């Protein structure tokens, strides 16, 4: 574990503390160990498809066939039974169970559109980029005079507004401990980290390739190893 501030004060604040409100923000790094295809990473989905079409809110009008084929294929991949929650998902669900069983609050915010947090037992993950297994917007189109309709997954595209913003900000505004895992928490998500810090929360990044962007504590480990270490340090929630 590396700390931006070379002091034992923050570690003492973490160790065996009973935080009233804990918020964990997860990204693609949490689901990577389950083998799920990613969008941005090398050999990810965008390496084989044009993101300006398939991930754009205007993509259907730009190239209907490519847009529909992409999302039908991706949805089919995520619906397969090949992907299961990994240890990181399970540890987070267990941490939530322990935290809420002692009267605390635990909120999970994720940019992931899969359902692996749900399958692991997390209650009501705040999916700000949507849910690929749910139906989203419906498109109509005409082929040879016949009207067809097609529903794409309920995911956020370029040009869309992120989902459940109120739930996300409510969680961040009252949190005592904010943990970013498997995500850079940069760009738009960076505002979430800053908001947590302004409200007095201890902020932690778990990332094997850390960003070192305004976090109090940095744990240079995989999602599974880092969550195990941190949850044990905070409340002995090792799975």
Catalytic annotation present for 117: no
**Residue that the structure tokens 């904010």 belong to:** 178
Q: How many helices (H) and strands (E) does the chain have?
A: 10, 9
Two tokens at 179? 């943990």
DSSP code, position 57: T
- 49, 89, 117, 129: which is the annotated catalytic residue? 129
The DSSP symbol for 6 reads -
Could you tell me the two tokens for 71? 């999302």
- Strand, helix or coil for residue 201: coil
Cα–Cα distance for residue pair 239/228, rounded to 1 Å: 7
Inter-axis angle of helices 87-101 and 223-235, to 10 degrees?
Answer: 20
What positions carry a catalytic annotation?
Answer: 129
């Amino acid at each position: 574990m590396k700390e931006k501030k070379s002091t034992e004060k923050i570690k003492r604040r973490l160790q065996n503390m009973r935080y009233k409100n804990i918020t964990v923000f997860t990204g693609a790094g949490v689901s990577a160990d389950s083998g799920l295809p990613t969008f941005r990473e090398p050999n990810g989905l965008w390496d084989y498809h044009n993101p300006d079409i398939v991930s754009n809110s205007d993509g259907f009008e730009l190239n209907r066939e490519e847009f529909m084929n992409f999302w039908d294929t991706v949805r089919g991949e995520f619906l397969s039974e090949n992907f299961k929650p990994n240890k990181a998902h399970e540890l987070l669900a267990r941490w939530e169970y322990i935290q809420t069983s002692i009267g605390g609050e635990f909120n999970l915010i994720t940019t992931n559109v899969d359902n692996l947090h749900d399958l692991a037992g997390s209650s009501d993950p705040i999916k700000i980029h949507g849910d690929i297994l749910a139906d989203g917007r419906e498109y109509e189109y005409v082929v040879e005079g016949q009207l067809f309709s097609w529903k794409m997954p309920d995911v956020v595209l370029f040009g869309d507004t992120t989902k459940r913003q109120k739930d996300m900000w409510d969680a961040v505004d009252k949190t005592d401990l904010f943990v970013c895992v498997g995500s850079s928490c940069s760009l738009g998500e960076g505002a979430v980290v800053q908001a947590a810090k302004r409200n007095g929360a201890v902020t932690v990044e778990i990332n094997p390739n850390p960003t070192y962007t305004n976090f109090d504590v940095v744990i240079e480990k995989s999602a599974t190893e880092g969550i195990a270490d941190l949850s044990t340090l905070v409340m002995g929630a090792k799975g």
